[in-house]
């Protein structure tokens, strides 16, 4: 047996050495991806582009468009990506959008129905997302019809902002970004994609966009395709693009 073959057999037998040991960060069955990139950790705006995976390759669905993110930029959140990551960390009330890789949850809005394949929850005046750190319902959308009004005391997130906050339209259409899926107190709550107030107006930590772009995403997204969202500042996108097998953005 020649020396090269002997070495290859030794490596194959060594514990922990496998050719397939590196698995992709993005779930293999996720075939829809929303990529949000910003200039740096402090940027309050960025661009979003949608991609679909066809025969193992990410392909753009439509051109990128402008979005607003947290008023204080972004920070590493808790999602599907490996944790912890070096850099700023998302905390409740910090005004930062969570960076990382996240599953998408149900769509929601003010209208009784929406035909999106994400699934849809029509919000009522009684629906709230709980952002109170000490609450056992932290980071969950609940109805006071079920949990009682006392259970949402102190929360700043009514899901019918139009009824509670002088006609505020931003939650008229949106969908859940599954940040902090373990609902850890203080790690950040109630992260959504929703309508923006106006171009360039930042959010408290969500990703906001024009209504036409939201409509296009809701018509395209399908929960059976396990859609995910990646949000990263430019430096992290460049650092992680190969390791995370991220798509290359279109100009």
At residue 233, the pLDDT reads 98
Token look-up 């395209």 returns: 220
At residue 249, the pLDDT reads 84
Contact indicator for 108, 174 with CB cutoff of 8 Å = yes
Q: Count the alpha carbons within 13 Å of 15 in the hemisphere toward its beta carbon.
A: 0
DSSP-assigned beta bridge partners for residue 174? 108, 194
Burial class (CB in 10 A: 0-12, 13-18, 19+), 88: middle
At residue 250, the pLDDT reads 76
Put simply, whether the predicted model's pTM sits higher than 0.85 gets the answer yes
DSSP-assigned beta bridge partners for residue 121? 108
User: Residue 15 falls within a domain, yes or no?
Assistant: no
User: Residue 17 falls within a domain, yes or no?
Assistant: no
User: Residue 143 falls within a domain, yes or no?
Assistant: yes
User: Residue 19 falls within a domain, yes or no?
Assistant: no
Instruction: Print the domain residue range for 48.
Output: 32-240
Token look-up 């290359």 returns: 248
- Into how many domains does the chain fold? 1
At residue 20, the pLDDT reads 34
Torsion on CA atoms 64, 65, 69, 73, rounded to nearest 10: 60
Torsion on CA atoms 64, 251, 199, 195, rounded to nearest 10: 10
Encode the chain (251 residues) as per-residue pLDDT tens digits.
444 434 333 333 333 333 333 458 999 999 999 999 999 999 999 999 999 999 999 999 999 999 999 999 999 999 999 999 999 999 999 999 999 999 999 999 999 999 999 999 999 999 999 999 999 999 999 999 999 999 999 999 999 999 999 999 999 999 999 999 999 999 999 999 999 999 999 999 999 999 999 999 999 999 999 999 999 999 999 999 999 999 998 76
At residue 251, the pLDDT reads 62
User: Residue 23 falls within a domain, yes or no?
Assistant: no
User: Residue 158 falls within a domain, yes or no?
Assistant: yes
User: Residue 6 falls within a domain, yes or no?
Assistant: no
User: Residue 193 falls within a domain, yes or no?
Assistant: yes
Ramachandran bin of 137, using left for φ above 0, alpha for ψ from -120 to 50, beta for the remaining angles:
alpha
Q: What is the three-class DSSP state of 217?
A: helix
Q: Count the alpha carbons within 13 Å of 135 in the hemisphere toward its beta carbon.
A: 23
């Amino acid at each position: 047996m020649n020396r090269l073959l002997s070495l290859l057999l030794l490596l194959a037998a060594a514990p922990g050495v496998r050719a397939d040991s590196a698995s992709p960060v993005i779930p293999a069955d996720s075939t829809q991806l929303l990529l949000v990139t910003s200039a740096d950790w402090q940027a309050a705006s960025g661009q979003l582009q949608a991609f679909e995976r066809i025969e193992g390759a990410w392909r753009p669905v439509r051109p990128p468009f402008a979005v607003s993110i947290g008023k204080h930029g972004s920070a590493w959140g808790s999602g599907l990506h490996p944790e912890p990551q070096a850099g700023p960390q998302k905390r409740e009330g910090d005004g930062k959008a969570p960076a990382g890789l996240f599953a998408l949850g149900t769509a929601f809005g003010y209208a009784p129905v929406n035909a999106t394949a994400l699934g849809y929850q029509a919000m009522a005046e009684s629906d709230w997302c709980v952002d109170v750190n000490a609450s056992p319902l932290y980071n969950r959308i609940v109805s006071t019809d079920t949990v009682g009004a006392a259970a949402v005391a102190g929360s700043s997130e009514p899901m019918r902002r139009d009824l509670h906050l002088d006609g505020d339209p931003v939650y008229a259409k949106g969908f859940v970004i599954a940040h902090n899926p373990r609902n850890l107190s203080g790690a950040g709550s109630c992260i959504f994609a929703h309508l923006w107030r106006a171009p360039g107006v930042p959010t408290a930590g969500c990703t906001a966009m024009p209504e036409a772009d939201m409509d296009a995403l809701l018509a395209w997204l399908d929960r059976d395709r396990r859609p995910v969202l990646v949000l990263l500042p430019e430096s992290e996108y460049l650092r992680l693009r190969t390791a995370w097998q991220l798509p290359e953005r279109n100009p």
